Structure 1
């Protein structure tokens, strides 16, 4: 799998984002989250009307920087990320997911870099993530990317 690039999500990407995010949550948290918390997480994070609305917010909303998609050389979406700067100086990664077959090919790193660049351009000097579970399967990735613990499920790193 070769990464073609990262771009801002378009309206036509909403269903793909919803499906990819739900698939990644199911595969990543199977055996970690019970069925009801898993359903709640998918319902909250992957609702197609919500993702459509978030993509179509003209000019963004206060603190919201939008969805990004990573594509392979054939144009298929292989990863997604969303984030914002909800508090001055503090960036927040709301979602970062990479399709199972595209992991360990730099997709997550490219998405996080693009999201971080956006956050810096809006004045963020720190970046945080809230993980859905403890222990979380994404923790090794974030630790490798320089994040450290704020609490058992919240991690942070400097963007300076």
Structure 2
């Protein structure tokens, strides 16, 4: 389980780096588009499509598992913080399963849609350009699938009583 956690951690880091690259590329692309529009009166073709179908999607969904890995998702603990520590621990453990089921369903459904888009060769026409957008459809199943894997590993660690040691063993 530690090896799988280590691999998932590395893939999560790679996804986070890809998300950062997408943000940088979006910034550069939009900046060059604005410069081209104002200096040469000719915007870059496909900017809107690239920003909405690639950069934003990749920046949002590929690093989705990063927040789970860092335990940085938003949580409201109005009631649970008042519960005994032992009960909080068990509640958190079972929430890994519940959340994993939701993200697993999201990964499965979005993968189905991505496969359909790939078979159809989904594309967008912007001006005289036709830009294939189907590859971007795989960002959501990738991010949600990776998050599901992390949650499944955390749930397995909870069930085996290794919740505290999973991440420390992987780091060592």
Q: TM-score, length-normalised on structure 1?
A: 0.28
- Structure ID, larger Rg: 2
Structure richer in helix, relative to its length: 2
**Higher RCO, Cα 8 Å, sep 6+:** 2
